[in-house]
Chains A and B, each alone.
Chain A
Amino acid sequence: MRAMDKNRLIVAAGAVALGIILQLLIWNGTLNAYYAQVLTMMSIFVIMATSLNLINGITGQFSLGHAGFAAVGGYFSAIITTRLQLPLPAPMIFTISLLVGGLIAALAGFLIGLPTLRLKGDYLAIATLGFGEIIRVLFLNWKYVGAAAGMWGIPGYTNFIWAYMLAVLTVIFIVHFMNSSHGRACISIREDEIAAETMGINTTKYKVMAFTFGAFFAGVGGAVLGHLIRLLHPATFSMTFSVEILLMVVLGGLGSITGSISAAILLTFVSEALRKFNELRMVIYALMLIGIMLFRPQGLFGRKEFSLDLLTDSRFMFKSSKNRGA
């Protein structure tokens, strides 16, 4: 137990130090604006992927509607920063807008989760996909937020340190949630829903809880994204966006938080690195995706977590999660 706490402290300190170092490098110009942007995108995708992992990996529910929640968060936070003239300093407005975006997305997650989470597997996937598309069509028809022309003139509040901090907070929250009794309940639903129910776990409550939390962070992620690209368009949040995030979760390994983080960073990097191939870029990306899935269908990390325990227990590089499925 002691060693675990120590390791956690090391990881936390490492995360803070990495953030500071990267920010210093951005300030003194070693990393130019382009790299800063890529690093920010990586952080945003870490938020998205870990929050989707909470739903798909940890609770074992198959959601394909993450883009919809990101859209809700993005649009409502942008309404706060552009449509309301709040007499507050910019960082406070941004914080409020992030919270509002996240909370409204969470509300959407709650309302959508309540009826749909009765469904299982593929049916749930299709229902959430349908909801994602409906949300997109609603924004496409909402004149107040620019309808099909998109929402312009969003202030560029997002910078690397904001995105990074939010990503770290998201990961801390999700890891703690996973290790709490609520998180254990969610994992038991993933392993065997009927058995969990028999043990007295209110499966609906925990499924909706995971869905709501996941939607909250997706909303925050969407808000950060909106204030980075400074333009929101319904087409940004199409099904492709959900699929891209799901891809990160599956590639990292369903249920593995470190896997999601690595996959989010890796895929953002790959997608940027392929830019020089222009038109062939997405062809290569698709072939890579098929190749990875064929050779490693359980994802890079499976359900394992990359852990610092290798320092204390040198036999294993990867600590097996305590809740491996049968």
Chain B
Amino acid sequence: MAEFLQQLINGISLGSVYALVALGYTMVYGIVRLINFAHGDVYMVGAFAGYFAIKTFKLPFFAALVAAMAVCAILGVIMERIAYKPLRNAPRVAALMTAVGLSMFYQNFTIYRIGAQPKAFPKIAQVNWQFAGVTVSNSQVLILGTAIALMIILHFVVQHTKMGKAMRAVSQDRDAAMLMGINVDNTISFTFAIGSALAAAGGVLVGQYYGVVQPLMGALPGLKAFVAAVLGGIGIIPGAMIGGLILGVAEAGVSAVGFSTYRDAVAFGILILILIVKPAGILGKNVREKV
């Protein structure tokens, strides 16, 4: 039982990072119908931004977190303006290939500038708490707390601000939103900024948790976060959170029973199962096909 609880806690802290990254995927997909393959690499850039903020600029952890989020928000807007905006009316696969190109660019540019070797991320002082045979570390609490706080802020922004209303309107019907006087370009840029900032937060938290950052760290977690987004229902914000948590717990569970080499397959296995059984995701509604 204690073992089970322990894995549950590990899974939840890993899953909340997936959820943070998945939120960016799902928001961007909801608004421009683009699988932003470069999103996982924004998470990596965020982790490195946090690393340099702490190492070079000697910022405390939370200031570094905010700095990394700001850097990535700007990066997200630039990325959207330069690479995705011109392709908004092009065939969808072209935008997808551009996203792949951006992902390759981020990875290789980081390798070129910083080097392929992993860097040691400065950890905060480790504190462990014991409850009934279960160990909880302060970095796990930090991950969970930050993730929940960010999700609450996100929920507030999306549901209770003018910009959030605009985002929801654009994701429902872009043309109608434009006719209602919503500045669609700014709304899309804002969505990219928020999504990228959340990915950056995920990157810094993971860097802090594992104590390493490296240029290819975003590739696989990026894909898995995407799986989480699909699992919960892509385009649906609470869905991304649920999907992330389920995925994190499932992975921790598989590792716990001794199949850690199959961990990566589990995420995709879940994905295919959900796609076949309920393609719209857990919270998604089935849309009837119209001719």
**Which chain B residues (81-95) contact chain A, with CB distance < 8 Å?**
83, 86-87, 90-95
Contact of B111 among A116, A279, A293 (CB under 8 A): A279
A116, A290, A298: most-surrounded residue (chain B CB, <10 A): A290
With known contacts A283-B105, A290-B102, A293-B101, A62–B265 Cβ distance under 8 A: no
The reply to whether A127 and B271 form a contact with Cβ atoms under 8 Å apart is: yes
- B230-269 toward A: CB 8 Å interface, digit per residue (1/0)? 1000000000000000000000000000000110110011
Given contacts A118-B276, A130-B268, contact A294 B104 (CB under 8 A): no
Contacts of A298 in B (CB 8 A): 90-91, 94
**Mostly helix, strand, loop or mixed at chain A's interface?**
helix
B104 surroundings in chain A (CB, below 8 A): 282, 285-286, 289
Residues of B close to A246: CB separation below 8 A: 97
A125–B109 CA distance with the chains assembled, in angstroms: 27
Q: Pick the 6 closest A-B CB pairs, nearest first.
A: A297-B94, A130-B268, A297-B90, A289-B101, A286-B105, A282-B108
In the bound complex, residues from chain B placing their C-beta under 8 Å from that of A140 are 261
Give residues of chain B (13-51) contacting chain A, Cβ–Cβ below 8 Å: 29, 33, 35
1/0 contact string of A277-288 vs chain B (CB within 8 Å) = 001101101110
Residues in A229-266 with C-beta less than 8 Å from chain B = 239, 243, 246-247, 250-251, 254
In the complex formed, the residue of B with least CB distance to A64 is B96
Residues in B whose Cβ lies below 8 Å from that of A279: 108, 111-112
In chain B, positions 109-128 with a C-beta closer than 8 Å to chain A are 109, 111-112
Interchain residue pairs with CB less than 8 A apart (12): A56-B93, A116-B272, A119-B276, A122-B35, A126-B230, A126-B275, A134-B272, A243-B100, A283-B105, A285-B104, A293-B87, A293-B97
B29, B226, B262 — most chain A CB neighbours (10 Å): B262
Q: Is the CB of A134 within 8 A of B291?
A: no
Q: A122-B92, A293-B98 are in contact. List 5 more A-B contacts (CB 8 A).
A: A246-B97, A254-B93, A282-B108, A293-B94, A297-B90
B223 at the interface (CB under 8 A from A): yes
In the complex, the chain B residue whose C-beta lies closest to that of A115 is B276
Within the complex, what minimum Cβ distance (angstroms) separates B38 from chain A?
10
A239: chain B residues within 8 A (beta carbon): 223
| Inter-chain contacts of B97 with A (CB < 8 A) | 246-247, 250-251, 289, 293
Q: Is A133 an interface residue (CB 8 A)?
A: yes
- The answer to the question of A137 belonging to the interface, with a C-beta cut-off of 8 Å to chain B, is yes
The answer to whether B173 has its CB under 8 Å from any CB of chain A is no
Cα–Cα distance between A127 and B29 once the two chains are bound (Å): 16
A131 and B100 contact, CB distance less than 8 A: no
Q: How far is the CB of B289 from chain A (nearest CB, A)?
A: 7
Decide: B262 and A141 in contact? CB cutoff 8 A.
yes
Docked Cα-Cα span, A126 to B97, in Å, equals 14
> A269 at the A/B interface (Cβ < 8 Å)?
no
Measured between beta carbons, the chain A residues less than 8 angstroms from B276 are 115-116, 118-119, 127
Residues of B within 8 A of A311 (CB): none
| Nearest-Cβ distance from residue B166 to partner chain A, whole angstroms | 24
CB within 8 Å of B: which A105-134 residues: 115-116, 118-119, 121-123, 125-127, 129-131, 133-134
Could you tell me the distance between the alpha carbons of A247 and B268 in the complex, rounded to whole angstroms?
A: 23
B101 touches A194 (CB 8 A): no
Partner of A294, one of B83, B226, B291: B83
Q: How far is the CA of A193 from the CA of B144 in the complex (A)?
A: 45
- Is A130 a contact partner of B261 (Cβ separation < 8 A)? no
* B225 sits at the interface (CB 8 A): no
Q: Assess the A290–B87 pair: CB atoms within 8 A.
A: no
